[in-house]
Amino acid sequence: MKKIRLSEALAVAVKAARAAGQVMHDNWYKPKKVNQSEKHDIKLELDVRCQALIEKTLAAAFPEIPVLGEEGITGDVTAEYRWVVDPIDGTVNYFLGLPHAAVSIALQCREQSVVGVIYDPFADELWTTVQGQPARLNGRIIRVSACSKVAEAVIALGFSKSPSSLRASLPHVSRLLRQARKIRIMGSAALELAYVASGRLDAYVERRINLWDVAAGSLLVENAGGQFHALRVAGKYRYAMCADNGRLRKKLRVGSLLK
């Protein structure tokens, strides 16, 4: 495949994210059709519809690039380039009427993110970045926080609800609740990463997360001056991760949590 112009890829990813965000916004007060209801998750018909719209928009500009999405795969996602898409990150929030959800789109080259877009349609906030360039929020360059003390840090946490995960996670949650200024469990990995990149959060730790949740946000954090540390765990696209401003990860002592 020929080399992709990242500026063109960014433009079409922004177009796709805004289109899906508009669908989310337009359906905010309407009844939601549930395709699948699990113990700790919900899948909506709108998830599928938004991914289909994103795929159509991306394919109009780059028909040769496959899509790895939460709602399905199109094409050969082992190819040199691939889109990684979460059409509604924070579906449970969205379903419950909590305006904390976003569209996340990344372009990866050889499994490394080179373009990242996250769009919050409720606040009309658009985060964008390209490999080797600054991270931006609505066009303005953003930077991670300068916080270097756990006692002054605001930290987002997330973890799966399996018995083994809870056994591993809860001691760290208890410790960090006592040590940090504030702990937040907010329900949208994409926005938590965007908030770390913007300096709103100082760190974000998640014990089990999917690639489509973090592919765009990880690049945002790194291009905003922070660090994204991930370990592949059970599942092909499943990770344990810690994102921070580059000053806190070792002080948080969450190494065992990420195993």
Predicted local confidence at residue 1, as pLDDT:
66
Predicted local confidence at residue 143, as pLDDT:
98
Say if 172 falls within a structural domain: yes
Predicted local confidence at residue 206, as pLDDT:
92
Q: What is the CATH number of the domain that holds 162?
A: 3.40.190.80
Please check whether residues 73 and 180 belong to one and the same domain. Answer: no
Please check whether residues 11 and 137 belong to one and the same domain. Answer: yes
Please check whether residues 88 and 166 belong to one and the same domain. Answer: no
Predicted local confidence at residue 172, as pLDDT:
83
Chain-wide mean pLDDT for the chain? 94
Please check whether residues 156 and 129 belong to one and the same domain. Answer: no
Say if 127 falls within a structural domain: yes
Please check whether residues 28 and 131 belong to one and the same domain. Answer: yes
Please check whether residues 29 and 135 belong to one and the same domain. Answer: yes
Say if 240 falls within a structural domain: yes
Q: What is the pLDDT of residues 212-242, one digit of tens each?
A: 999 999 999 999 999 999 998 877 899 999 9
Please check whether residues 162 and 117 belong to one and the same domain. Answer: no
pLDDT at 164 over 80: no
Predicted local confidence at residue 254, as pLDDT:
85
- Across the range 117-137, mean pLDDT stands at 98
Considering its fold, how many domains does the chain have in total?
Answer: 2
Contacts 24+ apart (CB under 8 A), 54-61: 54/16, 54/17, 54/19, 54/20, 54/85, 54/87, 54/103, 54/105, 55/85, 57/12, 57/15, 57/16, 57/19, 58/12, 58/13, 58/16, 58/83, 58/105, 60/12, 61/8, 61/12
User: 95 pLDDT band (50/70/90 cuts)?
Assistant: very high
Question: Which of 72, 107, 141 is the last residue before a domain boundary?
Answer: 141
Say if 1 falls within a structural domain: no
Predicted local confidence at residue 188, as pLDDT:
97
pLDDT at 122 over 70: yes
User: 33 pLDDT band (50/70/90 cuts)?
Assistant: very high
Please check whether residues 131 and 14 belong to one and the same domain. Answer: yes
Please check whether residues 160 and 254 belong to one and the same domain. Answer: yes
pLDDT at 155 over 90: yes
- Across the range 138-150, mean pLDDT stands at 98
- % of the chain with per-residue pLDDT over 70: 98
User: 207 pLDDT band (50/70/90 cuts)?
Assistant: confident
Predicted local confidence at residue 163, as pLDDT:
78
Please check whether residues 134 and 100 belong to one and the same domain. Answer: yes
- Across the range 10-19, mean pLDDT stands at 98
Say if 207 falls within a structural domain: yes
Q: What is the CATH number of the domain that holds 59?
A: 3.30.540.10
Question: Which of 89, 107, 141 is the last residue before a domain boundary?
Answer: 141
Say if 82 falls within a structural domain: yes
Question: Which of 123, 141, 159 is the last residue before a domain boundary?
Answer: 141
Give the ranges where 159-210 is alpha helix by DSSP (H): 163-179, 189-198
Predicted local confidence at residue 169, as pLDDT:
80
pLDDT at 182 over 90: yes
Say if 187 falls within a structural domain: yes
Q: What is the pLDDT of residues 165-180, one digit of tens each?
A: 778 788 888 899 999 9
Please check whether residues 127 and 250 belong to one and the same domain. Answer: no
pLDDT at 39 over 80: no
pLDDT at 152 over 90: yes
Please check whether residues 195 and 117 belong to one and the same domain. Answer: no
Name the 3-class secondary structure at 158. strand
Domain extent at residue 155: 150-258
Say if 99 falls within a structural domain: yes
